[in-house]
Amino acid sequence: MSAEATGFVHFELAEIRRSSLLVAAFLTCGVGYTWLLFTVWPETGGPSPASASWCGGTVAIMSALAALKLRHRYLTAASCVLVIGVLVGVACAVFLLGPAHSFLFIIPIAVASVFLERSAFYAVVSVVVGLVVIRVFHHVGNASEGAGTSAGSTTVGTALATVAVASAASWLSAHRFQIALRATCIGYERARQNSELARTRQGEVSRALKSLEEASYRLTRSNYELGLARARAEEPVR
């Protein structure tokens, strides 16, 4: 693939990520704002909001605003900030709601599959798995040792299976997008090569036509001079 095609690929991929980052940042900011509204005005008669609730909503909003600020000049940094903010927000939500809601970790995994490279995506998945295990065993430690251990093992298996399926689905989706983008780039490269070949052959045809016109002009001029010479040669005879 030529340097021009490679530059085209990187430019298009950056534009896709930049537009997707804008939508994801606005959604994250909206969710964080709603979360903080319920934190500031809790349900009447309910328990006071935990510090994790304040932390989750605040981090979600701040990461979204930072991503919006950085996305034009530092796209990779903006993507990392948004993914970290979503991950921290979801971790706070799971800490508050309990390990049964570990399926919420699908959200940062999906966001990471869109905006991060493969190695960074695997790092996010590893962090999610660690958080799920820590949260579940923290729940088991607070429960009774009898039924709590069995229920905790079941919850761990369910949560890890959910994370594994979500990670596989996100990776397959991102891999399919990369394949489609690669096919588009190959088509672009072939179209560019065909266009260059067509321009080259058009130039060759133009030069051939010009040479043919010059030869035709010379032939016409030679015929004219030959006619004049024949006329002059016939004059003394007459």
pLDDT one digit per residue (tens) for the chain, 238 residues: 555 556 666 677 778 788 888 888 898 899 888 888 877 776 655 455 567 788 888 888 999 999 989 888 888 899 999 999 999 988 888 888 877 777 788 888 888 888 888 788 888 888 888 887 777 777 666 654 444 445 555 666 666 676 677 667 766 666 666 677 677 777 777 787 788 888 888 888 888 888 888 888 888 888 878 877 777 777 665 5
Q: Which two tokens stand for residue 34?
A: 């709603």
Q: Is residue 148 part of a domain?
A: yes
Q: Is residue 33 part of a domain?
A: yes
Q: Is residue 26 part of a domain?
A: yes
Which residues are within 8 A (CB) of 107 and not within 5 positions of it... i.e. 6 or more apart? 86, 90
Question: Rounded CA gap, 30 and 37, in Å?
Answer: 11
Domain count, the chain: 1
Specify the pLDDT at position 73: 86
Q: Is residue 144 part of a domain?
A: yes
Q: Is residue 192 part of a domain?
A: no
Specify the pLDDT at position 84: 92
Q: Is residue 228 part of a domain?
A: no
Question: Rounded CA gap, 64 and 93, in Å?
Answer: 17
Q: Is residue 32 part of a domain?
A: yes
User: 19 is in which domain, residue-wise?
Assistant: 3-169
Question: Rounded CA gap, 13 and 188, in Å?
Answer: 14
Q: Is residue 189 part of a domain?
A: no
Judge whether 91 and 104 are in contact, CB under 8 Å: no
Specify the pLDDT at position 147: 47
Task: Characterize 170-186 residue by residue with b for buried, 16 or more Cβ atoms within 10 angstroms of its Cβ, and e for exposed.
Answer: bbeebeeeeeeeeeebe
